[in-house]
Amino acid sequence: MTNTTHRSDWQTIKSLWPYIWQSKYRVMLAFVALTLAKVANLGIPVVLKQIVDGMTPNPTLQVALLAPIMLLLAYGALRVSMTLFNELREIVFFRVSENAARAVSLQVFNRLHSLSLRFHLGRQTGGLTRDIERGTRGVRTLIGFSFMTIVPTLIEMGMVLGFLWAKYDLVFVGITAAALVGYIGYTVGITEWRTQYRKHMNELDSRANQKAIDSLLNFETVKYFNNEQFEANRYDQGLGQFRKAAIRSQSSLSLLNFGQQLIISLALIVILWYTTQGVVNKKLSVGDLVLINTLMLQLYVPLNFLGVMYRELKQSLVDVDKMFTLLHSEPDIADADDARELVVKDGRIEFKHVDFSYMENRQILHDVSFTVEPNTTTAIVGKSGAGKSTLSRLLFRFYDIQSGEILIDGQSVKDVTQLSLRKAIGIVPQDTVLFNDSLGYNIAYGRPDATPDDIMAAAQAAHLGDFLKRLPEGLETPVGERGLKISGGEKQRVAIARTLLKNTPILIFDEATSALDSHAEKAIQSAFDDAAKNRTTLIVAHRLSTIVYADQILVLNDGRIVERGTHAELLAKNGEYTAMWAAQQDEQGSIGV
């Protein structure tokens, strides 16, 4: 089952750290550049103090000319050094951030593909993609802002407090430290409080996006039923809820900003008043006033930015947490620790006393047992909902059975790796969904390393040759979103072609001709017959005319095999199969077939 336990911020940071530390030499180099930049930044107000104090009422010619020039050169050199080291840090560390974001995104992508069919049937595409998008952006924000803003500011705070301790009395350190503690405490407290609003806002954003994506993916259905306005109202309702949450979030942000500025302003007033008193009492020079004022400005300006960054980091932690929750989700269907590669010798398929249910209170298969001998064709027929397509899903191990065993050449599908299992099986599904790419790409998906000649041969075998000749772009013709630019029959032929290209020892045709007319069905039947030669073939069929030559036909009813035999044997029994055959013959006769 998917793990949905909430993770703490430290757990999220701990999970992210290995991705950062894989570029440890770059991290260390960036830290050295950061430290040097802050040393140069601290030296700027110190030199500025010397320049101001050097401007005495009656300086000698040498002091008037030489000292300020040297100090100004030092001042300029420090500013250039600070900029140089800051840019060097960004150049070095940017690759760390991008590498980490890339690695995390790839792992999440792979994890999503490793999760079970049950997870994907229950997910919302729009919300999931938005969570991943925000999570990837959050990784960049978390790494970049923490190292570019928070860590530098903390280092600068330590340097400033240490300098004030060494150079001036403890009052300066106390005022500065009190302001820093008050500012950080206020920022953390208010940000923690307002995080609930931000989380709620994100949930509503994802929900509104789900509605929009779902509506656009099913735009044909929307138009069939004239429900454009209904969908617009539904989307607007989601946007309205998001608006209310966004207003609450912004109001809490304004409260946070005002409090931060109030703390900084009070601290600046107090420390400058104390410094001015020192100048008046001749305990401090005008240069000290300039030095302390510049130090405070250099400290409080990034500290003010630190508040913004902390809010962004808190949001990034929320976003990254969702993505890491996905990353650490355990799939329902997992390989055994000692799983081995499937070795297909003959291709014999055995179902032994299989019981299966998608939900506890709704059993689909009851004690199903049958064998598909090597190089033979077994057809499964029955009413809708009898459990026919479930058998192919179980053979692919999209689900685990409750009891019984499924074997291929004596090897349980639970004991072999899912990758090797699915590599040995080719399927033409009932519902063919194509990628929004070219015809050639979709056919080649069966074997991505196939040559153009192999792709064309598979297309010809699936009787796509005449169709391709009518297309100006041939195999480069785009099929559109989910293949909607071509007909249902053409989509199924593409599915057949890519399965033929995969060239597996076991074939499954799951209602593979449901979108074809009778003429096209007869034409494609020869392709099936050629494909089935020297292969173990399982056919799930609705039209009985397509499976009359099967070596074995199983009649499924309410998840149980009620009849089995060849076409002739089943007709002789005069049972359910005979009734289905007669009904279809009458139906075909009534429409003139």
Residue 177 has what pLDDT?
85
pLDDT tens, per residue, the chain with 593 residues? 444 445 566 777 777 777 778 777 888 888 888 888 888 877 777 777 777 766 655 554 444 455 566 667 777 777 788 788 778 877 887 788 788 778 877 777 777 776 766 666 556 555 566 677 777 777 877 777 777 777 777 787 888 888 888 888 788 888 888 888 888 888 878 877 877 777 778 778 877 887 787 788 787 778 777 788 888 888 888 888 888 888 887 887 788 888 888 888 888 888 888 888 877 877 877 877 777 877 777 777 777 666 667 767 777 777 777 777 777 777 777 888 888 999 998 889 999 999 998 877 788 899 999 999 998 999 999 887 788 888 988 998 888 888 999 999 999 999 999 889 988 998 888 777 788 888 888 888 888 888 989 989 888 888 888 888 888 888 888 887 767 787 777 888 888 888 888 888 999 888 766 656 666 666 666 666 766 777 899 998 877 888 888 899 999 988 899 999 999 999 999 988 999 888 877 665 544 44
CA distances from 71 to 85, 279, 296 (A): 21, 22, 21
Q: What is the pLDDT of residues 227-263, one digit of tens each?
A: 888 888 888 888 888 888 888 878 877 888 888 888 8
Q: What is the dihedral of CA 271, 275, 277, 282, to 10 degrees?
A: 170
Task: Give CB contacts under 8 A, 24+ apart, made by 1-10.
Answer: 1/330, 1/332, 2/115, 2/119, 2/329, 2/330, 2/332, 3/325, 3/328, 3/329, 3/330, 4/325, 5/325, 6/321, 7/321, 7/324, 7/325, 9/314, 9/317, 9/321
d(CA 45, CA 290): 8
- Tally DSSP H helices, then E strands, for the chain: 19, 10
CA distance 13 to 10: 5
Could you tell me how far CA 451 lies from the centroid of its own chain? 31
| Model-wide pTM > 0.85 | no
What structural domains does the chain harbor? Answer: 9-327 (1.20.1560.10)
Q: pLDDT tens-digit profile of 321-345?
A: 777 777 777 777 788 888 899 999 8
Q: Which two tokens stand for residue 372?
A: 């598909």
Chain length of the chain: 593
Which helix or strand (DSSP H or E) is residue 515 part of?
none
Query: What is the reported pLDDT for 407?
Result: 94
Which pLDDT does position 589 carry in this prediction?
53
Q: Which pLDDT belongs to residue 68?
A: 64
451/384 Cα distance (integer angstroms):
39
- Which pLDDT score is estimated for 531? 67
pLDDT in the model for residue 109: 77
In whole angstroms, give the CA distance from residue 524 to residue 493: 8
Residue 577 C-alpha from the chain's centroid: 47
